[in-house]
Structure 1
Amino acid sequence: MYVCICNAINERRVHGAIADGAARLSEVFRKNGCRPQCGRCLAHMREVMQTHAAPSGAETGQRAHD
């Protein structure tokens, strides 16, 4: 699924940028050779990054309920 239409960045490219060391939105764009255009994608891209960085079952700093 596309995350950024302006730059044709899909979820796979976001995940690839994270695997290549990107930890911020600006780094995802940089690693894909582009810059944000209209900005509508930023919230969704942030969600994709958070989901990829903390897969289910991973520690997120929150305590599980007993």
Structure 2
Amino acid sequence: MYVCLCQGVTDRSIREAAENGVTSMRELGEELGVARQCGRCASTARQILRESRSPEYTAMADLLASPAA
């Protein structure tokens, strides 16, 4: 889903940025331009970033990325 319409940023791109090491809204803004114009997306982007950095999410992503035995 689109999170930031001004920059065309999706939830998937925010999750990918988190997987690549982005840990803060400042870094997310620098990387993707999120919350740099109107700012309406900031709370949703922050929530997605927080969820993507949680231990539960990273464990699930690691599990899904590993090949099936």
Question: TM-score under structure 2 normalisation?
Answer: 0.69
Q: Aligned residues: percent identity?
A: 29
Q: Equivalent residue of 1:39, what SS?
A: coil
2:45 matched to 1:45?
yes
Q: Equivalent residue of 1:17, what SS?
A: helix
The alignment of Structure 1 onto Structure 2 pairs a total of residues equal to 56
Give the counterpart letter for 2:51 in structure 1.
Answer: T
What 5-or-longer segments of structure 1 have no aligned partner?
Answer: 59-66
What 5-or-longer segments of structure 2 have no aligned partner?
Answer: 60-69
Give the counterpart letter for 2:23 in structure 1.
Answer: A
